[in-house]
A and B are shown apart, each in its own frame.
Chain A
């Protein structure tokens, strides 16, 4: 558990460093995820300890968004004045994006 948590942090650190260094438009942890994925593909299997730690962290992924989510209170004023365009645009655009993506991917996957 300790070794695999360290491994995750090391990959995050590598990701952050490369992003800063090459000025990439990606957050460090996302690059860290892609690098760890590549490392797993090269290795050909996931170590059991890493799998357990990853599952543990991801089991309550929703919880990790709560602190940033509470940041909504800092913009309540602005949200109150523009709530209609914001609510309608987010609702409709999210639905459209979701359905469009699923439709394109379904159609493209069927082609082959």
Chain B
């Protein structure tokens, strides 16, 4: 690299502008690919954007912390966006009242199934105790999951990654699996996606319909609460 270019790179790479612009460009490219491939579930925009960014950061030798300086402005919007989920949820209020009992039953049993199944499968395949504890809260939204992980002796930053992977997996396989089992009610589809794949699943559920998205958001919020109560008890029994 010639000295002038090098100087420019040093300047830009320490400014938040680059991380922010990279995030927006990578996402839009990923989204264009997703649309181009006929919205194929395997072409998940989050997965593609993340892969692009990780490749670019690795190639340019940029640490994640430096990238996040800029990307945090996008990350920050998760807070108000989560609050905004109340709006589509309110639109489902009449349906929600009718499905209240069924939702609560699915919520508590689904939360237990999620924790127990991931623990037993990973344990059978030889995962270490630390990985098991980090995996247990994989289906809840990351701020809750990281808190749970810390409480039970997992690695919070690893949990954040595992939650992310779970969300992408749920968003990719969820709608197809539900279609295969002839689940036609968008409220139930959304709830199941939110239970298993939190916010990333919710983003995907909104592409099915507003009803699916709202019920996914509801399941995500409630599952966080239930799982934080259930995990310490279950892990005590499983470990």
Contacts and interface: CB of A to CB of B under 8 A. Distances in A.
A3 interface: no
Given A69-B50, A90-B166, A97-B195, A62 B203 contact: yes
A97 B202 CA distance: 15
A71 B165 contact: no
Given A28-B79, A85-B126, A106-B188, A98 B106 contact: no
B219 to A, nearest CB: 8
Chain A interface, >50% SS class: helix
B49 A53 contact: no
B102 interface: yes
Interface in B116-148: 117-118, 121-122, 125-128, 131, 135, 138-139, 141-144, 147-148
Interface residues of B, number: 107
Contact of A64 (B74, B122, B197, B217): B74
Interface in A20-71: 25-30, 32-37, 40-41, 46, 50-51, 53-55, 57-58, 60-71
Contact of B157 (A64, A71, A90): A71
Contacts, number: 305
Contact of B99 (A71, A92, A98, A109): A109
Contacts of A17: none
Given A15-B83, A25-B144, A89-B118, A33 B68 contact: no
Interface in B66-97: 67-68, 71-72, 74-75, 77-91, 93
A89 B122 contact: yes
8 contacts: A29-B143, A30-B224, A33-B86, A74-B157, A98-B177, A98-B195, A102-B183, A102-B188
Nearest to B144: A27
Interface in A77-101: 78-79, 82, 84-86, 88-101
Contact of B131 (A30, A86, A100): A86
A33 B49 CA distance: 27
A66 B27 contact: yes
Interface string B24-55: 10110001000000000000011101100110
Interface of B: 23-24, 26-27, 31, 45-47, 49-50, 53-54, 57-58, 64, 67-68, 71-72, 74-75, 77-91, 93, 99, 101-103, 105-106, 109-110, 113-114, 117-118, 121-122, 125-128, 131, 135, 138-139, 141-144, 147-148, 157-158, 160-162, 164-170, 173-174, 177-178, 181, 183, 185, 188-189, 191-193, 195-197, 199-200, 202-204, 206, 213, 217, 219-221, 224-225, 228-229
Contacts of A18: none
A68 B146 CA distance: 13
Question: What are the nearest 10 A-B pairs in CB distance?
Answer: A67-B71, A108-B102, A85-B125, A101-B110, A29-B82, A36-B86, A93-B118, A89-B122, A27-B143, A105-B106
A28 to B, nearest CB: 7
Contact of B50 (A12, A50, A66): A66
Contact of B86 (A5, A37, A91, A103): A37
